[in-house]
Structure 1
Amino acid sequence: MTLPQEVRLSEWNLPDTEVCSAAVRLVLDVSLPVIANHTVRSYLFARELAAARGVRDYDDEVVFLTCILHDLGVTALGGGDQRFEVDGADAAVRFLREHDVAEDRARTVWEGIALHTSLGLVHRFGTEQAVSFSGISLDIDGAEKESLPAGFVERVHAAWPRQDLGFAIADLIAGGIAANPLKAPPFTFPAHLHELLNGSSLTFFDVVRNSGWGDEPVDA
């Protein structure tokens, strides 16, 4: 028998402070199961990767909140006119302020969420942002899964099924952009998915040609 998600949470030693519990309830309420499962796996992978790397001096609650809330931008709660990462980060901070989380900690969560697709950038912002990014990324690209304890991935997937996450979340992001093209600023990850799934996206050369400066291609 499959246990309900609320029960399974206690089996994984997840942070159970008032704000963490409220965050889980929020995500379960507003997200599709494929997204809710992804957010929990992201935290579990982040925590194990940090341990494997010997990284222990970080705020575990902040990492948990970052991972759990990081995809609010693909829900109705996080809808807006910005790329989904930023809409989601803004929604997360609104939630954290409602629960009296200190502004500096809320800002760290905002950065971790807003930058969670920014390879090569997020690690420069802080340990919590980097730890969160590693877990979120691993659940998409599988990088460094060999660093996790034997059997850990299988146990996580049994409790929190993938449901074809990679393709499912791409469809959600691209669907949001089809309804509101403002959500795909040129050259961003959302714009990349927009081109893959919706068939059109501005290129850098489109921007240059439309600038009005008259720049021409340089001869090789």
Structure 2
Amino acid sequence: MRLLRLPGVYRPQDDTFLLRGAVEREPLPDCANVLDLGTGSGALAMTAAERRGTHVTAVDAALRAVCTTWFNARINGVRVRVLRGDLTRPVIGCSFDLIMANPPYVPSPLACLPRRGRAVAWDAGRDGRALLDRICVDAPSLLAPGGVLLLVHSGLCGVEDTLSRLRRAGLRAAVSERRCIPFGPVLRRRARWLEEQGLIAPGAQKEELVVIRGEHQG
């Protein structure tokens, strides 16, 4: 897969690769409809589009991400419908067999979400759940009977909180993938603040990434 990125578009990293593995292992029906929320470079959308018979829709709020995904789909010879908009709003009323999401989830000292700059791709409020909570509420209603949500985020954001929210929304939810990785530059810079908030133990240098799988039981 060839990937080009406009400046400011999220570069595929450990969370992308962890979620990609889960997507590749997820069985899909023939002619499956797939949604990639917060597509970024389009790496996950193209992973799904390479599977025979899938119809993939990719959504991102950032114009540069939309342009990057559109271009990457073309140079890789796959079909992806690319929409610009706020999470699920462009696809309200649609139904999907698989929804995958790698939203911003890094806890930030700032309560407000950034509107520009590179931090848009990772900052998610003081608890890191500004977008996660919205996905937990909005995504289940877009799943077809038997459809699956695959959602990746850091353990710093509260894994049990995500599981509880998805279960309350009627999904059968569990952690399907785990991986511990060293802190990246953003978390290293925020380590003292994260300690003060009780989000990491003193001296911690690693975080756990999780993929949560929620299945529609209809």
TM bracket, shorter-chain basis: 0.3 to 0.5
Scaled by the length of structure 1, the TM-score of the pair is 0.33
Scaled by the length of structure 2, the TM-score of the pair is 0.33
Larger radius of gyration: 1
Larger helix proportion, structure 1 or 2? 1
Higher relative contact order (CA 8 A, sep 6+): 1
Larger strand proportion, structure 1 or 2? 2
